Amino acid sequence: MSLFFSENQAIIETAQYYFDRKLKQYGNLKYAYMVLNKKNPADMLVISNYPKEWVDIYKENNYQQIDPVVIASFTRIAPFSWDESITINAEVNFSKIFNLSKNYKIANGHSFILHDYYNNLALLSILMNEEHVNEAEAIVAEQEDKLQMLLIRVHEKIISLYKELENSTTSKKQISKDIFSPRENEILYWASVGKTYQEIALILGIKVSTVKFHIGNVVKKLGVMNAKHAIRMGVELQLIKPAVG
Contacting residues for 173 by C-beta, under 8 A, at least 6 apart:
none
Look at 71 and 233; give whichever has higher pLDDT.
71
Buried residues in 73-102 as b, exposed as e (16+ CB within 10 A): beebeebbbbeebbeeeeeeebeebeeebe
All domains of the chain in start order, with CATH: 9-171 (3.30.450.80), 182-236 (1.10.10.10)
pLDDT given at position 208: 96
Q: How far apart are CA 32 and CA 14, in angstroms?
A: 15
Q: Does the pTM exceed 0.85? A: no
CA angle, residues 34, 28, 151, in degrees to nearest 5: 30
Of 147, 121, 127, the residue nearest 65 (C-alpha): 121
Q: 91-107 pLDDT, tens per residue? A: 455 567 878 888 888 88
pLDDT at residue 94, rounded to an integer: 58
pLDDT band of 90, cuts 50, 70, 90: very low
Q: Tens digits of per-residue pLDDT, 166-207?
A: 776 665 555 545 688 999 999 999 999 999 999 999 999 999
CA 84 – CA 110 distance, rounded (Å):
9
Tens of pLDDT along 58-68?
Answer: 999 999 988 98
pLDDT value of position 241: 85
Give 202-236 pLDDT, tens digit per residue.
Answer: 999 999 999 999 999 999 888 778 898 889 888 87
The answer on pLDDT for 165 being more than 90 is no
